[in-house]
Amino acid sequence: MNAADAPPLLSLRELGLRYPNGIVALDRLSFDLRAGETVSVLGPSGCGKSTALRLIAGLERPGSGTVTWAGGSAPELGFVFQEPTLMPWATVADNVWLPLRLQGRTRAAAATTIDAALDRVGLTAAAKAYPHELSGGMKMRASIARALALRPQLLLMDEPFGALDELTRQRLNDDLLAIQAEQGFAMVFVTHSVYESVYLADRVLLMGPAPGRLREEIRIEQRGLRGEAFRTAAHYGEQCVAVSRALRRAVEGVAVGPD
Ligand SMILES: Nc1ncnc2c1ncn2[C@@H]1O[C@H](COP(=O)(O)OP(=O)(O)OP(=O)(O)O)[C@@H](O)[C@H]1O
């Protein structure tokens, strides 16, 4: 099914959040997310992107507004942070076990699920390695395997690939899209990269400077599967230009010419 025709999974309405220190991190943020859909979120540092993800994950409560889930309650969620946040004393496989262990599954009962998750991100050979033995890209793969272990319906990605070199980042983007095509989860993907936002998303949401508000939304035309052909296609470049201009409008509040 095309994600644009899927039923809504999540509706955010007029979300506002003020931290105890007085900073207004979000101001009337509203958007919908459909099952299987990917939205990427672009905006200047401090505009409230991470705060929005934490609200969706239930790690913060909104001061105003509502977070509504289809079916009444939050589905299984996966969260991948900017830092890989792996437990340094545990092997890669034991790190992936963590969410399963929190559900009461023993290591033996979880073994098949762990192996499948590691296989899916290409980390089978590193199952017994410790985080300090991994490259940055491998640590991110381990984080993704951990986030996917419980087969979430929604994956929340908080600028996960910002510290990686460009080719590793492109490879992870491609692998992520392939896993999503198999498993069908929706994604909210926070990034500072215009190119990445266009490559991954059905829609790009642009937030303005603090307090975080949505300024613009751009639908991305896919015209066929993503991959090397899309990355080098003229219509990918054109959409990157359009999103770049929209980002400048969102940040500076000025018009910068036609898209
Ligand atoms: N726990 C907190 N307590 C107080 N203020 C916070 C807290 N977390 C974030 N803030 C503030 O809220 C605002 C929004 O922060 P947030 O991390 O959501 O922004 P962001 O868009 O994700 O930034 P970046 O792109 O730099 O990651 C910032 O001004 C930040 O300093």
User: Residues 190-209: pLDDT tens digits?
Assistant: 999 999 999 999 999 999 98
Among 51, 188, 189, name the best residue to mutate to test ligand 1's pocket (greatest count of ligand atoms within 8 A of Cβ).
51
Indicate the domain borders of the chain.
7-75+153-240, 88-151
What are the angstrom distances between the C-alpha of 197 and each of 40, 123, 153, 170, 236? 5, 25, 20, 12, 11
Pick the range with the lowest mean pLDDT from 123-137, 149-163, 209-223: 209-223
Give the model's pLDDT for residue 94. 96
What pLDDT band is residue 257 in, cutting at 50, 70 and 90?
very low
pTM given for the model: 0.92
Strand partners, 218: 204
Structure tokens at 236: 């990918």
Number of separate helices (H) and strands (E) present in the chain = 8, 9
Q: Mean pLDDT over residues 66-77, rounded?
A: 92
Cα 30–Cα 245–Cα 216 angle in degrees, nearest 5: 10
The bridge status of strand 154-158 relative to strand 77-80 is: parallel
Q: What is the mean pLDDT of the chain?
A: 91
7-75+153-240 falls under which CATH superfamily? P-loop containing nucleotide triphosphate hydrolases (3.40.50.300)
Amino acid at 197: S
Nearest CA to ligand 1 atom 7: 19
Q: How many CB atoms lie within 10 A of CB 253?
A: 10
Query: Quick one: which of 22, 10, 27 has its CA closest to 215?
Result: 27
Q: Determine the atom of ligand 1 nearest the C-alpha atom of 19.
A: 4
pLDDT bin (cut points 50, 70, 90) of residue 258 is very low
Distance 27 CA to ligand 1 centre (A): 13
The answer, yes or no, to whether residue 172 has pLDDT greater than 80, is yes
Question: Cβ(213)–Cβ(52) under 8 Å?
Answer: no
Specify the ligand 1 atom closest to the Cα of 207: 21
Centre of ligand 1 to C-alpha 18, Å, is 10
- Summarize pLDDT for 90-111 with one digit per residue, the tens: 999 999 999 999 999 999 999 9
Ligand 1 cavity residues, CB under 6 Å? 19, 21, 23, 25, 43, 45-51, 210
